Each structure stands twice: as C-alpha cells, then as structure tokens.
Chain A
Amino acid sequence: MNPDGSLVKLENVHKWFGPNHVLRGIDLTIQAGNVVVIVGPSGSGKSTLLRTINLLEEPTEGRVLFDGEEITDIRTDVNKVRREIGIVFQSFNLFPHKSAKENVKLALEKVLRLSDGEAEERAMEQLSHVGLAQKGDAYPGQLSGGQQQRVAIARALAMKPKLMLFDEVTSALDPELVKEVLDTMKKLADEGMTMVVVTHEMGFAREVGTRLIFTDGGKIVEDGNPSEVFQNPKDERFKSFLSHVL
C-alpha cells in the first residue's frame, strides 16, 4: 500500500515517443478494489497510460508508485513488480507453441519457481475459473478468440496479482464472443480484484466500473462515478465522444 493508502499512484506522468508527446501530465490515484474504466478516442494515449503502470512503457517524466514502492526508481526490480500486476492485451499474445495449460504454467515455474505439481494444480484451477478446464491441452491456434482471451486472463491471474490491467481485450473478438470475456471480467470484479480496464464497452463501464476516466490528447479530462459521469458529462469532448459511441 502507498503512503496515502492507495494501490497505484501516477504523479505528473509524461510520455514522449520521439517528438510525439503522448501523455501530458497524468495524475491518477487508484484505491484497492476499484474497477477503473478508461475510455477515450483512439490515439489519446489510453494504452500508453495503462502500460506505464507495469512499466511496459517507461514514463519520460513523473513517478509511478505501486503498493508502497516507487517503481519508476531505477533501483526497483521491475520483474518483481510485474509479477504482481497482470495485463491482458487486445491481441491475446498467448505463446503459440505452448498449450493453454503450458501458457499458464510457464511463468509459475520459471518466475515463481513453483514445482511442476503446484504449477499444474494452479493452472488447472485458473483454467476452470475461466471455464476452460477441458481445453488445457489445446494450442492457441485451436481455440476461438474468446477462449484464447480467457486463457490469457487465466495466465495473468495465476500469478495471483494485486492488480489487473485490461487493454481493449474484446476489440479483436467477433461480437458473439465478447460476452464470455466480459462475464469473466465481471466475475473477477465481483471477487474484489483491483482492475484498470481500457474498453469501448460502455455497458461494462456502467455496470461493472466503480470509476470512469476519459482521456483525450494525453490528459485525463473527465473522471468520476460512471453513472454520474454518463448522466451529466461536463467536458465538451467527452460529450461528443459519448454521442458517437452510445
């Protein structure tokens, strides 16, 4: 826990890609148990913001604190921090040469150094949790997009993270497969997991989110309780965004 009792704290985070100023001073504090939904136009820096939280992107300026530690400090062991933060990507990023179960087991064995038996047990537990107990031996290429994404969620959850990040995890899915993934995430939220979710699914934001953030031009321009924010949006750009997606 951070000094102020939060789990994640971003302080004045800036990110430049070459001449491109993508994050322009992000301040964000996330309490344990929250489900923070991030929406915003394409290219507004949502992914970059999410990825600075587990240092897949290193902020050009500013600090990131996670669970009482300044992880942007160069002396911090990022590999240790990342064990505690799960991330799920739009494109699944399962290891195609490993079965579903091996995908889940790999980091358990190589990072957490669990024995084969323990890893096996935990992998099967997590696959059952996402409803894929029978698909353990299937390779990613043999699974539907929705199933692959649920394996990816199981793979992240198996590390027993304190925080889960989701980056448009349903955007690459056929419409009929979206629900199974959203249901899995909802279940996770109900169990009390702290989550940061970048999504275009406004229904999910309203129903599951405890907080809604709208980014535009690398800044947070709207931030509040989802139902309130949806009912009377203040920022003009957010209003026009809502009129397009709703």
Chain B
Amino acid sequence: MATAVAEPASRPDTRGPTAPLPLSLFAAGAAAIAIVILGTLGIQAYQVVNGGPVTPACEAEGIEARLLGAEGVCHIIEGIRSRAQTVVWLLGIVLGAGAAAGGWGLYKRMPSKRQREQCIAGAVLGVQAIALSALLLWFRSGEIAPFIRNFFNAEVLAGTIDGFLRGMLNTVKLAFAGEVGGIMIGLLLAVLAISQRRTVRAPALVYINFFRGTPLIWQLFFIYAIILFGFGIQIETFTAAVLVFSLNTGAYAAEVFRAGIQSIERGQVEAARSLGMTYTQAMRYAIVPQAVRRVIPPLMNEFVILIKDTALVIVLGLTAENYELYTFSREVYSEFSNGSAFVATAFGYLAITLPLIRIVNAVEHRLRSGLTGVVGAGG
C-alpha cells in the first residue's frame, strides 16, 4: 500500500521575485476595475443616503413626486447621470487602457514568472474595466428613466417580502416534490430500459423519448387538460404541476440511472452472477450501490434545472397560497404595474440554486479526485 509522502508545510515559491513595473501594471488594472465597480455602487449608496426630493429633470420624464417610490427611482437616475459617474467610468477606461497596453506589450519581456503573471493579470483586469465602463456608458445613453422606474422601484418591493419568501418556499416545494417523484419514476424506467427484452424495453424508451422530446410547457398544459377534461378528475393546479414535473424529470432521471448502471464495469455483474446471485440480487447488492454514487451529481444538476423550470407553472395558474417565485413577481407586476419584483425574483432563484451548484461541484470534484468517493469507507 502506497503512503503519500508528507507535503512540506509550505511549498517553496518558485515563481521568482517581482519588480516595480509589473507590480504597478497589475495595480493599475486592479484599480481600474475596482474604481468602476465600487465607484458606481458608491455613488448609488451616496444617493440613497443623501439624495434629495424628486428633481425637475425626473419630473419632466414622468417620475412625479406623488408616485409610489418616485424619490428612490429618481435617486438612481440622478446617480447614473451625475458628473461623478462620468468621471468614474472614464477613469476606469483610461486606467484600464494603460494597464492593458502596458501589460500586453511587456509581459513577454519579464524575467520571472511572477512578473509575467502580474503583467497579464493587469492587462486582463484593464480590459474588463474598459468593457464594463463602455457597456455602462452605452446603457446610460439610452432611455434609462422608464427602465429604472419599471424595474428598480424599492418601495414597490417593500410590502412584498412575505410573498417573496412564500414564493421561494413554494418554488422549492414544487421542484423537490417533482424531483422525488421523478427519481422514483426514473428508477422504474431505467430498470425497464436496460432489459434485454425488446418488449419490456420499448415502452420505456417511448416514454423517455416523448418526455425528453416535447417542451415542458406543452406537457404542463396538455397533461393538465387531459386529467381535467379527459379523465374528468378535479385536480389542483399545484398537484398537476408536481405530477407533470415528476413525469418529465422521470424521463431525464431514467437516462441518468441507465448511464450510471451501464458505467459500472461488466465484470461486476459477472462476479455477482457467478457467485450464484440472481440478476436482481446482482443489481441490488453489487451494481446499484456503486451506480448511486455516480448519479448524484447529474441528478442534482437536473434538480437545479427543475428549480428554474418551476417558473413554467405560470401557464396553469396557481392559487394564491401556492404562488412560486415567478408567479409572485407576475402578481406584483399586475398589482403595481411595475416589474421590480422580476428583478428581485432573480435573486430568489440564485439564493436557491447557487448553494446547490456549489454542492454539485464539490461532489463531482470528490468523485473525480481518485477513488475515495467511489470506494471510500461505508456502503
């Protein structure tokens, strides 16, 4: 058994010394991007704290003081249009251009790896600062007043926190129920789909292809209609949505399970069968426990996709207590004729999906970094 050689407490740094020139190029690039981002946010923060009443310029563009949240909207607009903001973006472009030109021109001549990397990093950051500033300047040249009024009105959101949180909860509920149902359907389908017998395999493959090959929004609509009018069953839209998500996820999960099972070396089944185990026993005790570890990351990816796809239930129309995030924002829009909740919704989805994405990446990394995840203790 090989025992890894203990790593030295700190790895020796072999990248060589730095020098003033590459260091200042790096600093220029970093400063450029920092000025653009922090400067823009800083100006907005200043406006929140020190901004005055609605200005005549805002009034002229239809942001009248009597409207809900007019002051806040005007603050944002005035901030974007301020001279300070122009200075910030131009400064970002000038500094960024300096760093980009210097870094790009000089990196090949640097004597050490560290100096070369500092030149390159400075140039890259400089380009990013230029791109971001240019994009924001372009944005500002358009009709920003109606856009800000429609999507960045904090007062509209103020009273909707409860609805927002309920929307998040319902989004998770819908996706989770759909995923659990989908995993069960997927397991069954996978068992059928890997059968040697065509008669067993065929219906499963038809199912899988159908649900993978048609739009989810169509499935939601049509299956709901079939249940309601075809079978004549009075079903809640929420329940119908969970059912359709399960049916749809089942098709994808089946493919995941099938791939997972087929990725286990043939020798494993042979070993189990030659010990006298039945096909079912071989699957249950030898193959599936190994496959499970491999299907976790792709199943979690499916879950993340399903979380976002819950937005499609809007076509069925949920009852108020079941509003998920997207329906919630649409309802806020109807009530206030204002789309600020759509912006908030993005953060709601991200708050759910980002942690999951991080977990998937960590699990994948663990499985990939040698056998520890696959073989490790337990099981």
Contact = CB atoms under 8 A, between A and B. Distances in A.
Q: Please classify how large the interface on chain B is, using the bins under 10, 10 to 19, 20 to 34, 35 or more.
A: 20 to 34
A149 B298 CA distance: 33
B118 to A, nearest CB: 42
Given A95-B271, A106-B275, 4 more contacts: A79-B277, A86-B274, A97-B289, A139-B377
Contacts of A139: 375-377
A107 B277 contact: yes
B375 A96 contact: yes
B270 A93 contact: yes
B371 interface: yes
Nearest to A99: B377
B371 A56 contact: no
A141 B293 CA distance: 16
Nearest to A158: B275
Interface in B32-78: none
Interface stretch (B206-214, B278-286, B306-314): B278-286
Contacts of B267: 89, 91, 93
Contacts of A97: 289-290, 293, 374-375, 379
A186 interface: no
B371 A110 contact: no
A82 B272 CA distance: 10
Interface string B149-161: 0000000000000
B276 interface: yes
A95 B376 CA distance: 12
Interface in A75-111: 79-80, 82-83, 85-87, 89, 91, 93-98, 106-107, 110-111
Contacts of B277: 79, 107, 110-111
Interface in A183-220: none
Contacts of A96: 290, 371, 374-375
A106 B273 CA distance: 12
Interface in B180-225: none
Contacts of B337: none
Interface string B243-271: 00000000000000000000001011011
Nearest to A103: B271
Contacts of A85: 274
Contact of B285 (A89, A93, A110): A110
A51 to B, nearest CB: 8
Contact of B275 (A98, A142, A155): A155
Interface residues of A, number: 32
B379 A98 contact: yes
A42 B335 CA distance: 78
B1 interface: yes
A13 interface: no
11 contacts: A82-B275, A85-B274, A91-B267, A94-B271, A95-B271, A95-B272, A106-B285, A110-B281, A139-B375, A139-B376, A141-B371
Contact of B276 (A82, A89, A144): A82
B375 A89 contact: no
A181 interface: no
- Give the 6 A-B CB pairs with smallest separation, nearest first: A107-B275, A83-B276, A93-B271, A93-B267, A97-B379, A141-B375
Interface in A132-151: 139-144
Contact of A89 (B271, B278, B374, B376): B271
Interface in A24-49: none
A110 B273 CA distance: 12
A87 B286 contact: no
A79 B268 CA distance: 16
Contacts of A80: 276
A112 B377 CA distance: 26
Nearest to A87: B274
